[in-house]
Structure 1
Amino acid sequence: MDVSRRAMIGMASAAAAAAGTGRPAWARAPFAPPAGIAQLSRNENPYGPSPAALAAMVEAGPAGCYYSNAAEERLAAMIAERVGLAPDQVLLGSGSTEVLNCATMAFGRAGAILAPELLFDPPLRYAEAKGVTVRRVALRPDMHIDLAALLAALGPDVRLVHLCNPNNPTGLVLPGDTLRRFIAEARLKAPEALILVDEAYVELADDPAGTSVVDRVRAGDPVIVTRTFSKLHGLAGLRVGYAMARRDLIAAMRPWLMSNGGNAAGLAAAMASLDDLPFLAMSRARIVEAREMLLAAARAQGRKTLPSAANFVFMQVPDAEVLRANLAREGILIRGPYGRFRQWARVSCGRIEDVARYVAALPRALAA
C-alpha cells in the first residue's frame, strides 16, 4: 500500500507540473535547440523529417510496444533493392556510428586500423578505448586525404583502412574513380586488409552515384560502405544508419551490434523517407543554398574555405575557439577546433534564416 501511495503521489506531482506549464513533459524536453539559438554546429538537417516520415511515425506509434525486427528486415530489403545487393548484405544500426563501431571492433581486433588524421573518428576512439591499435596518417598540405601515404603505410598487420568520403570535417571529396584505384592498389599490396568508407554525406556530392564505391561491394571486393538517414533525410535524432558489404563481412559485424530490432519510429520514418523524392529534392536544395551562403560569407571576409561536398563548410580563421565563443555570445553555435587544426572552423548548414544570422554576425565575430 505504501508503494502504491508513493506512485500515486508521484503521478499527481507530474500531472501538476505539466498543468503548471500548460504543456506535457515530453513537449518541454530539449529535443530541439532553444528558441533564439542558431544551431550550426552539428551537421543536422533541420528540414526533416519529411511529411511522409512524420505520418509514418504516427501510424507506427501504437505498435511501439513490439520489438521491430520485422520492420528492420523490411528496411534492409528496401535498401538492398535500391543498390543492387541482397538483404543479408545490409546491416542496420542506431545511426551509422553503431555500424562503424561494429566494423572497427569486428576487424580492428585482428590487426591495426589505418586512417587519415582528420575524419569523423568517434568509432576509432571507441576502438582505441577497447585496445585496438589505430594509426593515423597526416593529410596532404591541401587538406585532402593522402591516399599515397596511406598506401605506403599499408602493411600485413593492417586489417582495416578507415576513410570518410566526403570527409568530415573538411567537406572534401575523393572522386570515385580515384578511390576505386586506391582500393585496387590496396588489395594488391595487402590482400587481407578491408577498406571501410563512411559515405554519410555522399548524397550531397555533385555526383553521388559516381562518388560512391558501393559498386565495389556488388563486385565482391573487401569493401564496407556505411550510410545514414541523419543528413539528407533529416532523421538524426531517430538514429538509423546502415552498412553494406559482403555477406561474410556483415556476418562478422553483426555480433557487435548493441541495439536489438531497431527503433520502431526511426524505421518507419526511414522507409517512408526513402520514397519521398520531392522532400529529398527540397532538402538537398536547401542544404546547397545554405552552403553557398556560408562560402560567400567567408569570401566576403577574405577567408579561405575548402570546397565542400557536404552540409558544412571548413573555413580558415585566426582561432576557431575564439570565433566559436564570439558567435555563441550572439546565440549562434558552430563547432569548436579539431585538435591541432585550431585555424579551421566548421560551420554547418542549418535553416536559411539561421545561416543568414551567421552571415550578418561573422564580420563582428572575426573582428572581436
Structure 2
Amino acid sequence: MTSPRARRALDEIPVYRPGKAAASEDHKLSSNENPYDPLPGVMERAAVELGRINRYPDAGTTALYAALSAKLGLSPDHFAASTGSVAVLYALLNAHLEAGDEVVYAWRSFEAYPIAADLTGATTVRVPLRTDATHDLDAMAAAVTDRTRVVLVCTPNNPTGPVVKAADLDRFLATVPERVLVVVDEAYVEFVRDADAADGLAALAAHDNVVVLRTFSKAYGLAGLRVGYAIARPPVAEAIRKATPPFAITDLSQAAAVASLEAEAELAERVEAIVQERHAMVAALRDQGWELPETQANFVWLPLGDDAMDFAAWCDPVSVRPFAGDGVRVSVGSPAVNAVFLDRAAAWRKEH
C-alpha cells in the first residue's frame, strides 16, 4: 500500500528546535527573550482587540505600516510583516528562490536559515565564520556565483553575537551583483552599541537590492505575539507580501506592536538595562577565564565545542541553548537569574 509522501526536500531538513524549557520562565536563558513585562500601553491596547476576535484582522496591516512609516520615514509600501521576522524570511525566500538557485549565508548563524532555504529547493552555500565568530564577507562575496539569488547577513550574528562592520558591508555590497538580494537580518539591532556597526537602513538607502529584517520579539518584548517585518524597496516588499498568507498579523498583535512603538522612552530604558547587564555578564565570564567573542546582542556565546551539550546540562536549573559541537548561547535575563548562571559557569571552570 502506497501512502502519501511529503516533498523529498523535507527528508534532510531538521525540525526547528525551540529553547529548552526551564524550571521557571525566569530561568529560561535559551530563547533570547526579553525578561521585562510588556511595555506601557500594550496590555490595554491588546485587551481592546480581544473583544472583537470574532472578526478577521486587518489584512493590510494598515496601522502597523503607518506607524513604521512615521518612525522610519519611509512610505508604507516599503514594509512587509508576518508572524516574526523568521516568517518574513520564509516568505522572502519563497518569493525569490527556486530549484537551481543558490542562497549564501555564514555558518554558524541563525538555525532557521538552512531550514527556510532548503524548503525552497534551492542550494544552500554555507561560508564558515572567522575564528573571532564574525562574518567573513570576503569569502561570502567569493561564494557568489551566477546562480546566487540571495545572501543572508545576520548582524548581530545569532548565536555568536558580533556585528558586521559598516565599512565591511559597504565593500561587500559594492562587490555583489545588483541582481542578488542581500538580506540584512537585524533582529537584535536595538542592543547594538558599536559605533562602527553596519546600519541596514543606510545600506537600503544606498542599494536597491538590500532588505532589512527586524522584529518585535526581542527588544520590544512581544515574542509571544509574533510580529516581524521586512523593510525593502516597494517591489521587493510587495513580492514578500504576496508570498505571505493572508491575515498573518492579528489585530491584537498589530495593536500591541503599535503601542510598543509609541513607548520609545520606556523601551530605551529597558534596552539599556539589558545592555548594561550584558556588559556585566561578559566581564564576569572573562574574569572566570572564558574566551568570548564581542557580543552586541542580548546574549553571550561560549565556544565550548564538543562540551556544549554537557555544559548545558550542567547549568540546570538555568536553561541555556547548546549547539552540538559548536558552543552554547546564553540570553541576558534578570540580574538574579544571570547570577545563578554565572555561579554554574564558574563551577564548570573549576571542575573542567
Query: Taking structure 1 as reference, are residues 103 and 124 closer, same or farther at Cα in structure 2, changes over 3 Å only?
Result: farther
Find the counterpart in structure 1 of residue 286 from structure 2.
299
The amino acid across from 1:75 in the alignment is L
Kept in 2, the 8 Å contact 1:224–1:243? The answer is yes
The answer as to whether partners of 1:48 and 1:233 remain within 8 angstroms in 2 is: no
SS in structure 2 at match of 1:167: coil
Deviations 1:30-58 (A, max 9, x none): xx965486111110002131122122112
- For residue 75 of structure 1, what is the aligned residue in structure 2? 64
Q: Which moved more, 1:203-212 or 1:144-153?
A: 203-212
Q: Which residue of 2 aligns with 1:312?
A: 299
> What SS does structure 1 have at the residue aligned with 2:51?
helix
**Secondary structure of the structure 2 residue equivalent to 1:196:** strand
> Partners of 1:174 and 1:237 in 2: how far apart?
28
Say whether residues 1:106 and 2:95 are aligned partners. Answer: yes
Does residue 345 of structure 1 match 2:320? no
The structure with more radius of gyration: 1
Aligned residue among 112, 119, 140 for 1:122? 112
**CA distance in structure 1 between the aligned counterparts of 2:54 and 2:194, rounded to whole angstroms:** 41
Partner of 2:344: 361
Structure 1 residue identity aligned to 2:331: S
Q: What do you get for the CA RMSD once the two structures are aligned?
A: 2.1
Structure 2 gap ranges (5+): 1-20
Return the structure number with greater helix share: 1
CA distance in 1, matches of 2:339, 2:282: 12
**SS of residue in 2 equivalent to 1:131:** coil
Alignment map for 1:252-267 (pairs within 5 Å): 252-267=239-254
Q: Partners in 2 of 1:36 and 1:340 — Cα distance?
A: 27
Per-residue deviation, residues 81-101 of structure 1 (Å, max 9, x unmatched):
222221011001001011011
Between the aligned residues of both structures, percent identity stands at 34
Q: Which amino acid aligns with 1:143?
A: A
The residue aligned with 1:321 is 309
> Quick one: structure 1 residues 208 and 283, their matched pair in 2 at CA, closer, same or farther if it must change by over 3 Å?
farther
Pick the aligned partner of 1:281 from 262, 268, 293: 268
1:66 aligns with 2:55: yes
Q: Is the 8 A contact 2:194 2:296 kept in 1?
A: no
Does the 8 A contact of 1:202 with 1:211 survive in 2?
Answer: no
The alpha-carbon distance between structure 1 residues 360 and 169, as it changes in their structure 2 partners (threshold 3 A), is: same
SS in 2 for 1:69: coil
Pair 265,33 (structure 1): closer, same or farther in 2 beyond 3 Å? farther
3-state SS of the aligned residue for 2:322?
A: coil
Task: State the alpha-carbon separation in 2 of the partners of residues 254 and 185 from structure 1.
Answer: 28
Structure 1 contact 94–259 (Cα < 8 Å) conserved = no
Q: Under a length normalisation based on structure 1, what TM-score does the superposition of the two structures give? A: 0.84
Report if aligned partners of 2:308, 2:325 keep a CA contact under 8 Å in 1. no
Letter matched to residue 269 of structure 1: A
Instruction: Check if 1:88 corresponds to 2:71.
Output: no
Matching of residue 237 in structure 1 with residue 224 in structure 2: yes
Query: d(CA) in 2 for partners of 1:140 and 1:98?
Result: 28
Q: Deviations over 1:278-310 (max 9, x none)?
A: 321221122113212321221122010111100
Say whether the 8 Å CA contact 1:293–1:355 is kept in structure 2: no
TM-score (norm 2): 0.87
Q: How many residues align?
A: 329
Q: Which amino acid aligns with 1:195?
A: V
**What are the superposed Cα offsets for residues 153-174 of structure 1, whole Å, 9 maximum, x if unpaired?**
1121100011111110111001
For structure 1, list consecutive stretches of 5 or more residues without a partner in the other structure.
Answer: 1-31
- Tell me if structure 2 keeps the 8 A contact 1:298–1:315: no
**For the residues of structure 2 that align with 1:71 and 1:353, how far apart are their CA atoms?**
42
Query: 8 Å contact 1:40–1:334 — kept in the other structure?
Result: yes
Matches of 1:170 and 1:320 in 2, distance apart?
Answer: 14
Asked whether the equivalents of residues 30 and 329 of structure 2 are also in contact (C-alpha less than 8 Å), the reply is yes
State the 1:71 CA deviation.
Answer: 7.4
Pair 1:334 & 2:320 matched:
yes
The residue type equivalent to 2:345 in the other structure is: L
Structure-2 residue corresponding to 1:180: 170
Query: 1:258: how far off?
Result: 3.0
CA contact (8 A) 2:187 2:218 kept: yes
User: What is the DSSP-based 3-state SS (H/G/I as helix, E as strand, rest coil) of the residue aligned with 1:63?
Assistant: coil
Contact 1:171–1:313 (CA under 8 A) maintained in structure 2 = yes
